[in-house]
Structures are given as C-alpha cells and as structure tokens.
Amino acid sequence: MDIRHLRYFIAIVDNNFNLSRTSQHLYISQPALSMMINEFEKREAIQLFKRTQGKIVGLTYVGENYYRDAKEIVEKYNEMNQNLHKITNQITGNITIGIPPLVLSVVFSEIMPYLILENPTINFSIKEQGAYVLKKELLLENIDLAVLLYPEGISKNIIDSFEISHSELSVFFSPEHHLAQKEILTWQDLHNEKMAIFDKTFMIYHQLSEHFKRYNIYPNIILESSSWDFLLNSTKINKALLTILPFPISELYPASDYVCRKIKDPVPWRVTLCRLRKNNYSNIENYILDSLLKAFKS
C-alpha cells in the first residue's frame, strides 16, 4: 500500500469497519474502497479483516499488527512533511554569491529576485565581478557560491561545478559596419578590426585572447570595460567598432541599431554554478544551491 491506501485502511478501522461511512469521509466510492482491500489481500496472500457472511467485522491478528504499523508510518510521514516545511521556514543567515554582471542580467534576471523575495529570512549578498576575479574569491572562501565559465580552470577535486546555461560568443556591431553584410564570420574576418572587449577581470577576455593566438589574428583593441551594455552601446555610436558578447543578449535585448553575427568555430559560453568541496555545508549553503539548480532545471 502507498501512503494514501494506508490512510484508507486506518480510516476503515477507525470508522468501526463501516465501509459506507468510511467512503463518505474519504470522498471515494464504497466499491473502490472494497476493491482496494481485496486486491491488497490477494496480492500479498494475507487476510487483514475478519469477515462474517462477506461483511467486515474486525481485524485478524495480522491485521492488528498491520494497523499498528500503519498508524506509526502515517504519523511519521506527517511529521516528516511538517519538518520539511519547518526547516525551510527556519533557514536564516547570510549567503554570498559571486555573479558576473553580464550573467546576472542575462541568466539570473528572473531567478535571483524571485529567490530573494521567497526567502525574507536570508540575507543575500551579490558580488558583481568578472568570472576571472570570482574564481579567486571562491578559492579564498570570500564567497559561498560562484558563477563561472567552463572550463573554470580549477581542479574538479577542489570544486563542485553545475552547468546552468549554454550558448556561444558572437560578434555585435552597427548595421553600417562593413562586416554586417556577412551572415557568419570567421576568426580571420576579425583581424585588425577595431574592437571593444571585456577587461582582464572577465573570463571572456582570456578566452578571446586564446582564440586570437590560436587563429593568429591581431585585432585592434580600442577599449576594455567591465560593463557589457557600455561595450554594446559603444558599437552603436562608433560604426567601425565591434564587440564580442554572448549570443543570448541578441535574444533578450533585440534592437535595430545593432546586428549580431555568429562565428564559425565559436567560443562556447557555458555558465556554471560552483562551490568549494567541503566535508560539511551549512543548511543555507545546501538550500540555496538546491533552490538555484531546481530553478534552472524547470
């Protein structure tokens, strides 16, 4: 029997074996109640009830033991559910999460406000820094959770890492830029092009630097910034300037004053939620990690 059937069984006994009255209390039909009992007894090859002329009149010895065990299980089940919600309601304290500004806007814009509003007893501290800096902050234990980019550059023996978003880097520029005529760009197309990119505190900077070296190209880096919207706006103002940002920006913030072009053999943009491996985690650390992972799966 599952927990629902156990409740039915207990209700039959508590209603003095009156199936009609029991079915009314449970809001199910009497035939369905009888069928449940008969199927269980047949399947388990046991008899729970004493019967006289086909009518239930009491419990057998096995039935009495089963009734006692069923009561104990249902009480424990109820207590378990009460404790579940009690623990959730009692979680208080501080949690520090490091999230790059771009990822906060693109990936966490709905989830983070909801999580904060749903947990008024928790004090959230959000550190907005580039993933390159947040990696160091995590290793120094200055933050509880860090949102990084894969590969994080940290041994898997040191951190637990969970991918929460997956896309790629793309090129953004004015519709009047000479590369706007191409539907897909190559890395060679970016050689000597005037470019605005994230600064060295961002993992994207280091990923791009590796790809520039791999394809033997030398872009003309005009400016570096920690603000993705400043980078994008700069390309709108300067028609000869381009920037490289995650593709989801073009879907979340569509506009007519810039175009987005994908790159052949692009740099993957894989966002991961990370924490240091420890023998023990606080309730709040486990709760927030589980809540975030559940939110990104739904």
Q: Which of 39, 74, 119 is nearest to 291 (CA)?
A: 119
Specify the pLDDT at position 53. Answer: 84
Continuous segment of H or E residues that includes residue 104: helix 101-106
Domains of the chain: 3-89 (1.10.10.10), 93-165+271-297 (3.40.190.10), 167-269 (3.40.190.290)
pLDDT above 70 (res 195) = yes
Strand-pair category, 194-198 with 122-127: unpaired
**Residue range 165-193: average pLDDT?**
96
Q: Name the pLDDT band for 267 (thresholds 50, 70, 90).
A: very high
Q: Which of 241, 195, 190, 185 is nearest to 220 (CA)?
A: 195
Specify the pLDDT at position 89. Answer: 59
Specify the pLDDT at position 1. Answer: 67
Q: pLDDT tens, 106-154?
A: 999 999 999 999 899 999 999 999 999 999 999 999 999 999 999 998 9
Specify the pLDDT at position 86. Answer: 60
Length of the chain in residues, anyone? 298
Q: Name the pLDDT band for 288 (thresholds 50, 70, 90).
A: very high
Q: Which of 223, 217, 219 is nearest to 198 (CA)?
A: 223
Q: Which of 36, 298, 12, 296 is nearest to 145 (CA)?
A: 296
Specify the pLDDT at position 87. Answer: 57
Higher pLDDT, 34 or 84: 34
pTM score of the predicted model:
0.67
**Residue range 86-91: average pLDDT?**
64
Q: What is the 3-state secondary structure (H, E, C) of 260-293?
A: EEEECCCCEEEEEEEEECCCCCCHHHHHHHHHHH
Contact 283, 213 (CB under 8 A): no
Q: pLDDT tens, 34-82?
A: 888 888 888 888 899 999 988 899 999 999 999 999 999 999 988 888 7
Specify the pLDDT at position 36. Answer: 87
